[in-house]
Structure 1
Amino acid sequence: MLASPLPAVLPGPGGTDYARYMRTNELLALQKEPAEWVHPDELLFQIVHQSSELWLKLTRSHLTRALAHMGAEQVGAAELLVDRAAEALRLITEHLRILRSLPPAHFAVIRPALGNGSGFESPGWRLLRTATTELDIAFSQLLSSLRVTALDVYRGQPSDPLYRLAEALVAFDERIALWRAEHYSIATRVIGQGVLGTRRTPVDSLAALISHRRFPTLWEARTALTLAASHGICPARGQA
């Protein structure tokens, strides 16, 4: 026999504390009602993108906190938060895959309902770009304050906290690239190649973004190590 539910004690609308804390009434009212759909797959399209914005909001929060820890030279705490942010991007990328099941003919019906709206206008991705720029600057300042370079970091030990933070930033950068690759793949699968998106931008322009790096110094350090090794220079700092 099920126990009787406890009465709600939190303020706000909803019959349970779960509904009041999670604000489910408001959350579930953010999607179009069936009578408003131009096609039933609008619900799929809208929920995927709305949930992405929520994950991006969380990602931005983690990166902002990581930025504060980096400023205080709390390297381990910053690494943890950057790792979490990367995991959030992994989840965003994975749930995009359900859009592969969206038939092109269905999206052709949905597309006019988007107006001129485009993923390029996503507030979450705009804030993410700002956050990564701030993190790149903060990491450079951290290295400067410690009087080391990115090359010094990568010549050190992988167990070093600074090395681990550098790798967390690189992993996050990779997650952005993987999301962009998935986005491009799905876009071309649904609307084809050589066409214009809702913002009149060529869909193939998405491919050019995949190779863009948000933390270029950390990637350049890898290149420098490879070039040094090719010239017979020992890459390991302090190694005999």
Structure 2
Amino acid sequence: MTCPHHPTPDAHSAGPMTGTGESIVREEGAQLDFSKDMSYGDYLQLDQVLSAQHPLSPDHNEMLFIVQHQTSELWMKLMLHELQAAVRCVHEDALPEAFKMLARVSRVMEQLVHAWDVLATMTPPEYSAIRPYLSNSSGFQSWQYRQIEFMMGNKNAAMLRPHAHRPDLLAAVEAAYRAPSLYDEVLRLMARRGIDVPTSHTDRDWTQPYAASEAVKAAWLQVYRDPKAHWDLYQMGEELVDMEDAFRLWRFRHVTTVERVIGFKRGTGGTGGVSYLRKMLDTVLFPELWALRTEL
């Protein structure tokens, strides 16, 4: 991509800073010597972070594609950090701490939703220009996203295969696959609190997909019909609904952005693309928390 060159205004044409503002900048700037102490860039390791973008195509728009996905992976790293800690807190009955972590996860998901707005500025011809350079790489292979799905309860053994070529990553994904999900731990907590949650849902094979239960819905209804008596469990239910609400928006924006940019072409990793992503919109992570609303 070529653009006409416009000369940058020099100091004289830009106009000088005047008055107090100029003196403040001069005084503050004189004190900014980081030659002996850790700087902002040192702390954030910006040399490594900002040198990790290596477009493979000659197309201008590939930088957007790379930065979009790298920043999404950084946000997912924070999500995993918070989710893992929240699961531990629920296991230890430390709910106030868990609430803060889950609220943060929901806000991170909002950031990821808006990130799709930026990628949606890429048009189909622009994506077509870089697609041949992506080979078989695909967001389908994101091990962090797969850990998040598993921790949220969407278990599927087939989703381990995309990571089989990296034993270290496979081990991390498989650990999330075999562990109780966040929702599993919440149901176990409810049972410890004396709420009648069936053992079929508190002591089961954690690798199996979660199956909705009328008995679990009845347990949640006990909480929701007397929130004052079960306030922290009631709050937990709403934190989970808030998080799934944000997760649904994230998935929806993913589908619409992919359809906008590539239409119904197959994904680079071999998936059905939009057709696969649309099926994922039907996944309900915490079914009883949604179903009970009809009966309240």
State TM-score, norm by structure 2: 0.69
Give the deviation of 1:8 after TM superposition: 4.1
- Given the alignment of the two structures, is residue 214 of structure 1 paired with residue 241 of structure 2, yes or no? no
State the Cα deviation string for residues 90-149 of structure 1 (Å, max 9, x = none): 001101111111010010011111111111111221111122231011001011111222
Aligned partner of 2:80 in structure 1 is: 60
Given the alignment, which residue of 185, 198, 201 partners 1:138? Answer: 185
**Distance (Å, rounded) in 2 between the aligned partners of 1:128 and 1:8:** 41
Aligned partner of 2:53 in structure 1 is: 31
Aligned partner of 2:95 in structure 1 is: 75
**Distance (Å, rounded) in 1 between the aligned partners of 2:259 and 2:34:** 51
**Distance (Å, rounded) in 1 between the aligned partners of 2:36 and 2:235:** 44
Give the deviation of 1:211 after TM superposition: 2.2
- Given the alignment of the two structures, is residue 19 of structure 1 paired with residue 19 of structure 2, yes or no? no
Note if contact 1:177-1:211 (Cα within 8 Å) is conserved in structure 2: no
Given the alignment, which residue of 61, 65, 70 partners 1:45? Answer: 65
Aligned partner of 2:141 in structure 1 is: 121
State TM-score, norm by structure 1: 0.84
Q: Which amino acid aligns with 2:30?
A: A
Give the deviation of 1:7 after TM superposition: 2.7
**Distance (Å, rounded) in 1 between the aligned partners of 2:58 and 2:226:** 58
Note if contact 1:55-1:88 (Cα within 8 Å) is conserved in structure 2: yes
Aligned partner of 1:110 in structure 2 is: 130
Aligned partner of 2:250 in structure 1 is: 179
Give the deviation of 1:9 after TM superposition: 4.3
| Structure 1 portions without partners, runs of 5+ | 11-15, 226-234, 236-240
Aligned partner of 1:197 in structure 2 is: 267
Matched residue SS, 2:120? helix
Aligned partner of 2:240 in structure 1 is: 169
**Distance (Å, rounded) in 2 between the aligned partners of 1:157 and 1:170:** 16
Root-mean-square deviation over aligned CA pairs: 1.8
**Distance (Å, rounded) in 2 between the aligned partners of 1:8 and 1:96:** 39
**Distance (Å, rounded) in 2 between the aligned partners of 1:64 and 1:8:** 38
**Distance (Å, rounded) in 2 between the aligned partners of 1:75 and 1:216:** 21
**Distance (Å, rounded) in 2 between the aligned partners of 1:211 and 1:131:** 18
Structure having the higher Rg:
2
**Distance (Å, rounded) in 2 between the aligned partners of 1:88 and 1:119:** 18
**Distance (Å, rounded) in 1 between the aligned partners of 2:149 and 2:35:** 41
**Distance (Å, rounded) in 2 between the aligned partners of 1:152 and 1:75:** 19
**Distance (Å, rounded) in 1 between the aligned partners of 2:143 and 2:110:** 19
Q: Which moved more, 1:210-219 or 1:56-65?
A: 210-219
Q: Which amino acid aligns with 1:6?
A: D
Aligned residues: 217
**Distance (Å, rounded) in 1 between the aligned partners of 2:110 and 2:277:** 19
- Given the alignment of the two structures, is residue 4 of structure 1 paired with residue 4 of structure 2, yes or no? no
Q: Which amino acid aligns with 2:286?
A: F
State the Cα deviation string for residues 61-100 of structure 1 (Å, max 9, x = none): 1111111111111222211110100100100110111111
Give the deviation of 1:37 after TM superposition: 3.1
Aligned partner of 1:228 in structure 2 is: none
**Distance (Å, rounded) in 2 between the aligned partners of 1:200 and 1:63:** 29
**Distance (Å, rounded) in 2 between the aligned partners of 1:217 and 1:74:** 23
Q: Percent identity over the alignment?
A: 29
